[in-house]
A = this chain, B = another copy of it.
Amino acid sequence: MKPATLKEIAQKLNISVSTASKALKDYPDVSKKTKALVHELAKTLNYKPNSLAVNLRNKETKTIGLIVPEVVHHFFSSVIKGIISQAEKKGYLVIILQSNESYKLEKKQLNLLMQQRVDGILISLANGTADFMHLNEIVAQDKPLVMFDKIAKLVRCSKVIIDDRKAAYDATQHLIDIGCKKIAHFRGALLPQNSIDRFLGYKKALLDNQMDYDPSLVYICECGDKSFEEGKTNALQLLEDHTDVDGIFINTDLVAIGALTAFQEKGIQVPNDIAVVGFSNWFMSSVISPSLTTINQPGFLMGKTAFKQLYKEIKSKKKNKPIALKEIILQTDLIQRASTTLSS
Protein backbone atom coordinates (compact mmCIF):
# COMPACT_ATOMS: atom_id res chain seq x y z
CA MET A 1 0.00 0.00 0.00
CA LYS A 2 1.69 3.16 -1.21
CA PRO A 3 1.09 6.33 0.75
CA ALA A 4 -1.66 8.55 -0.64
CA THR A 5 -0.80 11.70 -2.56
CA LEU A 6 -2.58 14.97 -3.10
CA LYS A 7 -3.13 14.02 -6.70
CA GLU A 8 -5.12 10.95 -5.69
CA ILE A 9 -7.26 12.97 -3.36
CA ALA A 10 -7.88 15.55 -6.04
CA GLN A 11 -8.82 12.93 -8.62
CA LYS A 12 -11.25 11.09 -6.38
CA LEU A 13 -12.93 14.34 -5.51
CA ASN A 14 -12.81 15.75 -9.00
CA ILE A 15 -11.04 18.89 -7.94
CA SER A 16 -7.60 20.26 -8.73
CA VAL A 17 -4.46 19.49 -6.81
CA SER A 18 -4.14 23.18 -5.94
CA THR A 19 -7.53 23.25 -4.32
CA ALA A 20 -6.86 20.07 -2.44
CA SER A 21 -3.61 21.48 -1.16
CA LYS A 22 -5.21 24.72 -0.07
CA ALA A 23 -8.13 22.92 1.54
CA LEU A 24 -5.81 20.86 3.68
CA LYS A 25 -3.97 23.96 4.79
CA ASP A 26 -7.18 25.78 5.60
CA TYR A 27 -6.62 28.61 3.20
CA PRO A 28 -9.46 31.10 3.53
CA ASP A 29 -10.32 31.07 -0.17
CA VAL A 30 -11.65 27.51 -0.28
CA SER A 31 -15.30 26.72 0.39
CA LYS A 32 -16.24 25.04 3.62
CA LYS A 33 -17.80 22.20 1.72
CA THR A 34 -14.67 21.42 -0.27
CA LYS A 35 -12.54 21.65 2.81
CA ALA A 36 -14.74 19.19 4.63
CA LEU A 37 -14.64 16.73 1.76
CA VAL A 38 -10.88 16.94 1.40
CA HIS A 39 -10.21 16.61 5.09
CA GLU A 40 -12.46 13.61 5.31
CA LEU A 41 -10.91 11.78 2.40
CA ALA A 42 -7.43 12.64 3.62
CA LYS A 43 -8.29 11.04 6.90
CA THR A 44 -9.69 7.85 5.44
CA LEU A 45 -6.71 7.52 3.09
CA ASN A 46 -4.39 8.26 5.98
CA TYR A 47 -2.81 11.00 3.92
CA LYS A 48 0.47 12.43 5.15
CA PRO A 49 2.15 15.12 3.09
CA ASN A 50 5.39 13.83 1.61
CA SER A 51 7.89 15.88 3.51
CA LEU A 52 10.51 15.50 0.80
CA ALA A 53 8.29 17.34 -1.64
CA VAL A 54 7.21 19.89 0.92
CA ASN A 55 10.78 20.51 1.94
CA LEU A 56 12.05 20.79 -1.60
CA ARG A 57 9.40 23.36 -2.28
CA ASN A 58 9.85 25.27 0.97
CA LYS A 59 13.59 24.98 1.08
CA GLU A 60 13.69 23.81 4.62
CA THR A 61 13.92 20.31 6.03
CA LYS A 62 12.74 20.73 9.60
CA THR A 63 15.69 18.54 10.41
CA ILE A 64 18.90 19.43 12.22
CA GLY A 65 22.16 17.56 12.45
CA LEU A 66 23.97 16.74 15.65
CA ILE A 67 27.56 15.56 15.91
CA VAL A 68 28.95 14.33 19.21
CA PRO A 69 32.31 12.71 19.89
CA GLU A 70 30.75 9.73 21.62
CA VAL A 71 27.21 8.49 22.22
CA VAL A 72 27.92 6.00 25.00
CA HIS A 73 28.73 8.66 27.54
CA HIS A 74 26.59 9.93 30.34
CA PHE A 75 27.19 13.60 29.73
CA PHE A 76 26.65 13.47 25.98
CA SER A 77 23.62 11.26 26.18
CA SER A 78 22.10 13.80 28.58
CA VAL A 79 22.85 16.54 26.08
CA ILE A 80 21.29 14.46 23.30
CA LYS A 81 18.20 13.97 25.38
CA GLY A 82 17.96 17.71 25.98
CA ILE A 83 18.32 18.40 22.28
CA ILE A 84 15.86 15.89 20.93
CA SER A 85 13.18 16.64 23.48
CA GLN A 86 13.38 20.35 22.73
CA ALA A 87 13.58 19.77 18.99
CA GLU A 88 10.49 17.62 19.03
CA LYS A 89 8.55 20.40 20.72
CA LYS A 90 9.39 22.69 17.84
CA GLY A 91 8.67 20.09 15.19
CA TYR A 92 12.29 19.35 14.32
CA LEU A 93 13.87 15.98 13.82
CA VAL A 94 17.47 15.28 14.74
CA ILE A 95 20.00 13.28 12.78
CA ILE A 96 22.71 12.10 15.15
CA LEU A 97 26.26 11.31 14.13
CA GLN A 98 29.21 10.31 16.23
CA SER A 99 32.70 11.47 15.36
CA ASN A 100 34.50 8.94 17.57
CA GLU A 101 36.83 11.79 18.52
CA SER A 102 38.14 11.75 14.96
CA TYR A 103 38.73 14.94 12.99
CA LYS A 104 38.45 13.11 9.70
CA LEU A 105 35.10 11.59 10.51
CA GLU A 106 33.81 14.87 11.89
CA LYS A 107 34.65 16.60 8.63
CA LYS A 108 33.01 13.91 6.56
CA GLN A 109 29.89 14.01 8.69
CA LEU A 110 29.61 17.75 8.40
CA ASN A 111 29.61 17.27 4.64
CA LEU A 112 26.91 14.63 4.89
CA LEU A 113 24.74 16.99 6.87
CA MET A 114 25.21 19.82 4.42
CA GLN A 115 24.29 17.52 1.59
CA GLN A 116 21.20 16.46 3.49
CA ARG A 117 20.30 20.16 3.66
CA VAL A 118 19.65 20.13 7.39
CA ASP A 119 18.37 23.49 8.63
CA GLY A 120 21.10 23.81 11.21
CA ILE A 121 23.93 21.98 12.91
CA LEU A 122 24.82 21.34 16.53
CA ILE A 123 28.30 20.10 17.28
CA SER A 124 30.65 19.23 20.08
CA LEU A 125 34.15 18.82 18.70
CA ALA A 126 36.28 15.72 18.56
CA ASN A 127 39.44 15.71 20.64
CA GLY A 128 41.35 15.23 17.42
CA THR A 129 40.09 18.47 15.90
CA ALA A 130 42.81 21.09 15.74
CA ASP A 131 41.97 23.02 12.60
CA PHE A 132 38.65 24.63 11.96
CA MET A 133 38.35 25.08 8.20
CA HIS A 134 35.49 22.60 8.00
CA LEU A 135 33.58 24.63 10.56
CA ASN A 136 34.36 27.94 8.93
CA GLU A 137 32.99 26.57 5.69
CA ILE A 138 29.66 25.87 7.34
CA VAL A 139 29.60 29.41 8.65
CA ALA A 140 30.58 30.79 5.23
CA GLN A 141 27.68 28.94 3.69
CA ASP A 142 25.41 30.70 6.10
CA LYS A 143 24.19 27.54 7.76
CA PRO A 144 23.18 28.10 11.38
CA LEU A 145 25.74 26.42 13.61
CA VAL A 146 25.90 26.18 17.37
CA MET A 147 28.81 24.59 19.18
CA PHE A 148 28.49 23.23 22.70
CA ASP A 149 30.78 21.93 25.40
CA LYS A 150 33.79 21.22 23.22
CA ILE A 151 34.09 24.33 21.13
CA ALA A 152 36.55 26.25 18.98
CA LYS A 153 36.75 29.77 20.29
CA LEU A 154 37.75 31.28 16.97
CA VAL A 155 34.86 30.03 14.87
CA ARG A 156 32.23 32.73 14.37
CA CYS A 157 29.13 30.97 15.68
CA SER A 158 27.09 30.73 18.84
CA LYS A 159 28.39 28.62 21.68
CA VAL A 160 26.90 27.04 24.76
CA ILE A 161 29.46 26.18 27.37
CA ILE A 162 30.29 26.21 31.01
CA ASP A 163 33.09 28.27 32.45
CA ASP A 164 35.53 25.39 32.76
CA ARG A 165 38.30 27.57 34.13
CA LYS A 166 36.15 29.00 36.88
CA ALA A 167 34.66 25.61 37.73
CA ALA A 168 38.13 24.07 37.99
CA TYR A 169 39.28 27.05 40.05
CA ASP A 170 36.37 26.49 42.44
CA ALA A 171 37.15 22.80 42.71
CA THR A 172 40.80 23.48 43.51
CA GLN A 173 39.97 26.30 45.89
CA HIS A 174 37.67 23.93 47.72
CA LEU A 175 40.56 21.52 48.26
CA ILE A 176 42.68 24.39 49.54
CA ASP A 177 39.89 25.53 51.83
CA ILE A 178 39.65 22.16 53.51
CA GLY A 179 43.38 22.32 54.17
CA CYS A 180 45.11 20.49 51.34
CA LYS A 181 48.73 21.52 50.95
CA LYS A 182 49.87 19.59 47.91
CA ILE A 183 47.28 19.17 45.20
CA ALA A 184 47.63 17.01 42.11
CA HIS A 185 45.59 17.24 38.93
CA PHE A 186 44.51 14.52 36.52
CA ARG A 187 43.83 16.43 33.34
CA GLY A 188 42.19 15.42 30.07
CA ALA A 189 43.79 15.13 26.63
CA LEU A 190 45.98 17.97 25.43
CA LEU A 191 43.91 19.48 22.65
CA PRO A 192 40.38 20.09 23.81
CA GLN A 193 39.72 23.53 25.15
CA ASN A 194 37.88 22.15 28.17
CA SER A 195 40.78 20.19 29.43
CA ILE A 196 43.10 23.14 28.86
CA ASP A 197 40.75 25.46 30.73
CA ARG A 198 40.29 23.09 33.61
CA PHE A 199 44.04 22.79 33.91
CA LEU A 200 44.42 26.57 33.84
CA GLY A 201 41.78 26.99 36.53
CA TYR A 202 43.63 24.50 38.71
CA LYS A 203 46.90 26.32 38.18
CA LYS A 204 45.46 29.75 38.84
CA ALA A 205 43.86 28.64 42.09
CA LEU A 206 47.22 27.35 43.28
CA LEU A 207 49.04 30.55 42.39
CA ASP A 208 46.34 32.81 43.86
CA ASN A 209 46.86 30.97 47.11
CA GLN A 210 50.65 31.28 47.02
CA MET A 211 51.07 27.58 46.42
CA ASP A 212 53.68 26.20 44.06
CA TYR A 213 52.61 24.91 40.70
CA ASP A 214 54.50 21.68 40.12
CA PRO A 215 54.16 20.14 36.63
CA SER A 216 55.08 16.71 37.96
CA LEU A 217 51.77 16.74 39.85
CA VAL A 218 49.80 16.87 36.61
CA TYR A 219 48.81 13.56 35.04
CA ILE A 220 47.12 13.10 31.70
CA CYS A 221 44.29 10.81 30.75
CA GLU A 222 42.64 10.50 27.39
CA CYS A 223 39.20 10.12 28.92
CA GLY A 224 38.01 7.68 26.29
CA ASP A 225 36.64 4.19 26.89
CA LYS A 226 39.31 3.52 29.41
CA SER A 227 38.61 6.38 31.79
CA PHE A 228 38.10 4.20 34.80
CA GLU A 229 41.31 2.27 34.22
CA GLU A 230 43.21 5.48 33.56
CA GLY A 231 42.05 6.79 36.88
CA LYS A 232 43.36 3.71 38.61
CA THR A 233 46.67 3.74 36.79
CA ASN A 234 47.28 7.42 37.36
CA ALA A 235 46.40 7.11 41.02
CA LEU A 236 48.85 4.24 41.51
CA GLN A 237 51.53 6.15 39.65
CA LEU A 238 50.88 9.20 41.78
CA LEU A 239 51.34 7.15 44.94
CA GLU A 240 54.69 5.99 43.65
CA ASP A 241 55.83 9.44 42.52
CA HIS A 242 54.75 11.48 45.52
CA THR A 243 54.17 10.44 49.08
CA ASP A 244 52.81 13.72 50.36
CA VAL A 245 49.97 14.63 48.01
CA ASP A 246 46.83 15.30 50.05
CA GLY A 247 44.34 16.39 47.38
CA ILE A 248 43.53 15.75 43.73
CA PHE A 249 41.33 17.58 41.30
CA ILE A 250 40.32 15.20 38.54
CA ASN A 251 39.10 16.17 35.08
CA THR A 252 36.09 13.86 35.04
CA ASP A 253 34.11 11.73 37.47
CA LEU A 254 34.70 8.37 35.89
CA VAL A 255 38.45 8.84 36.15
CA ALA A 256 37.98 10.00 39.73
CA ILE A 257 36.03 6.87 40.55
CA GLY A 258 38.88 4.81 39.13
CA ALA A 259 41.25 6.70 41.41
CA LEU A 260 39.01 6.13 44.43
CA THR A 261 39.01 2.42 43.68
CA ALA A 262 42.81 2.34 43.49
CA PHE A 263 43.08 4.20 46.78
CA GLN A 264 40.68 1.81 48.44
CA GLU A 265 42.75 -1.15 47.25
CA LYS A 266 45.91 0.46 48.55
CA GLY A 267 44.36 1.30 51.91
CA ILE A 268 44.60 5.05 51.34
CA GLN A 269 41.86 6.86 53.25
CA VAL A 270 39.73 9.30 51.29
CA PRO A 271 39.42 12.11 52.24
CA ASN A 272 41.68 12.00 55.27
CA ASP A 273 44.83 10.88 53.46
CA ILE A 274 43.89 12.30 50.08
CA ALA A 275 40.81 14.38 49.28
CA VAL A 276 39.32 14.02 45.79
CA VAL A 277 37.19 16.31 43.61
CA GLY A 278 35.78 15.14 40.30
CA PHE A 279 34.05 16.92 37.45
CA SER A 280 30.66 16.43 35.74
CA ASN A 281 28.44 15.01 38.48
CA TRP A 282 27.83 11.65 36.94
CA PHE A 283 24.89 9.97 38.64
CA MET A 284 27.05 7.21 40.10
CA SER A 285 29.14 9.78 41.94
CA SER A 286 26.53 10.34 44.61
CA VAL A 287 26.10 6.65 45.03
CA ILE A 288 29.54 5.20 45.47
CA SER A 289 31.35 5.07 48.75
CA PRO A 290 32.85 7.46 49.61
CA SER A 291 30.54 9.66 47.56
CA LEU A 292 32.42 12.01 45.28
CA THR A 293 32.63 15.78 45.56
CA THR A 294 32.28 17.13 42.06
CA ILE A 295 31.33 19.97 39.74
CA ASN A 296 27.83 19.74 38.41
CA GLN A 297 27.81 20.04 34.63
CA PRO A 298 24.27 20.48 33.33
CA GLY A 299 24.08 18.24 30.26
CA PHE A 300 20.35 18.18 29.67
CA LEU A 301 20.13 21.94 30.06
CA MET A 302 23.08 22.43 27.74
CA GLY A 303 21.35 20.40 25.04
CA LYS A 304 18.12 22.27 25.50
CA THR A 305 19.84 25.64 25.43
CA ALA A 306 21.90 24.79 22.36
CA PHE A 307 18.82 23.76 20.43
CA LYS A 308 16.94 26.87 21.49
CA GLN A 309 19.74 29.08 20.22
CA LEU A 310 19.97 27.17 16.96
CA TYR A 311 16.21 27.45 16.56
CA LYS A 312 16.36 31.21 16.98
CA GLU A 313 19.04 31.44 14.34
CA ILE A 314 17.11 29.27 11.91
CA LYS A 315 14.06 31.49 12.38
CA SER A 316 16.06 34.68 11.95
CA LYS A 317 17.66 33.40 8.82
CA LYS A 318 14.31 32.45 7.37
CA LYS A 319 13.05 35.96 7.93
CA ASN A 320 16.28 37.39 6.55
CA LYS A 321 16.95 39.06 9.85
CA PRO A 322 20.50 39.42 11.06
CA ILE A 323 21.60 36.62 13.36
CA ALA A 324 22.78 37.62 16.79
CA LEU A 325 25.56 35.25 17.79
CA LYS A 326 25.68 34.40 21.45
CA GLU A 327 28.05 32.82 23.86
CA ILE A 328 25.92 31.31 26.57
CA ILE A 329 27.66 30.24 29.75
CA LEU A 330 25.74 27.86 31.95
CA GLN A 331 26.08 27.82 35.70
CA THR A 332 28.11 25.11 37.41
CA ASP A 333 28.27 24.42 41.10
CA LEU A 334 30.45 22.49 43.41
CA ILE A 335 28.64 19.64 45.11
CA GLN A 336 30.43 18.68 48.27
CA ARG A 337 30.25 15.05 49.28
CA ALA A 338 32.18 12.59 51.39
CA SER A 339 35.37 12.59 49.33
CA THR A 340 36.24 16.04 50.65
CA THR A 341 34.41 16.06 53.97
CA LEU A 342 37.02 15.48 56.65
CA SER A 343 35.84 13.37 59.53
CA SER A 344 37.88 14.89 62.33
> A3 interface residue, CB < 8 Å from B?
yes
- Tell me whether A112 and B93 are in contact in the complex, defined as CB-CB below 8 angstroms, given that A55-B52, A72-B78, A228-B287 are known contacts: yes
Given A88-B109, A258-B287, 7 new contacts (CB under 8 A): A48-B114, A50-B117, A53-B56, A72-B78, A77-B77, A93-B97, A93-B112
Name the 6 nearest CB pairs between A and B, nearest first: A48-B115, A52-B56, A72-B77, A71-B81, A93-B95, A96-B96
A-B contact pairs, 29 of them (CB 8 A): A1-B140, A1-B141, A1-B142, A3-B114, A3-B141, A48-B115, A50-B117, A51-B117, A52-B52, A52-B55, A52-B117, A63-B95, A71-B80, A72-B74, A72-B78, A73-B77, A77-B77, A84-B96, A84-B97, A88-B97, A93-B95, A93-B112, A94-B95, A95-B96, A228-B287, A257-B287, A258-B287, A261-B289, A264-B289
Listed in ascending order, the chain A residues whose CB lies under 8 Å from chain B are: 1, 3, 46, 48-53, 55-56, 61, 63, 71-74, 77-78, 80-81, 84-85, 88, 93-98, 109, 111-112, 114-117, 137, 140-142, 228, 257-258, 261, 264, 283-284, 287-289
- Interface pair A98/B116, CB less than 8 Å apart: no
Contacts of A261 in B (CB 8 A): 287, 289
Contacts of A72 in B (CB 8 A): 74, 77-78, 80-81
- Interface pair B49/A115, CB less than 8 Å apart: yes
Taken together as a complex, chains A and B put the C-alpha atoms of A51 and B112 apart, in Å, by 10
Shortest Cβ distance from residue A86 to the other chain B in the assembled complex, whole angstroms: 12
* Residue on B nearest A81 in the bound complex, by CB: B71
- Interface pair B52/A111, CB less than 8 Å apart: no
Residue with the greatest number of chain B CB neighbours at <10 A, chosen from A3, A80, A116:
A116
Taken together as a complex, chains A and B put the C-alpha atoms of A98 and B142 apart, in Å, by 30
Taken together as a complex, chains A and B put the C-alpha atoms of A95 and B46 apart, in Å, by 23
- Interface pair A98/B115, CB less than 8 Å apart: no
Shortest Cβ distance from residue A227 to the other chain B in the assembled complex, whole angstroms: 10
Shortest Cβ distance from residue A67 to the other chain B in the assembled complex, whole angstroms: 11
Contacts of A287 in B (CB 8 A): 228, 257-258, 261
- Interface pair B71/A84, CB less than 8 Å apart: yes
- Tell me whether A51 and B116 are in contact in the complex, defined as CB-CB below 8 angstroms, given that A1-B141, A3-B141, A56-B56 are known contacts: yes
* Residue on B nearest A55 in the bound complex, by CB: B52
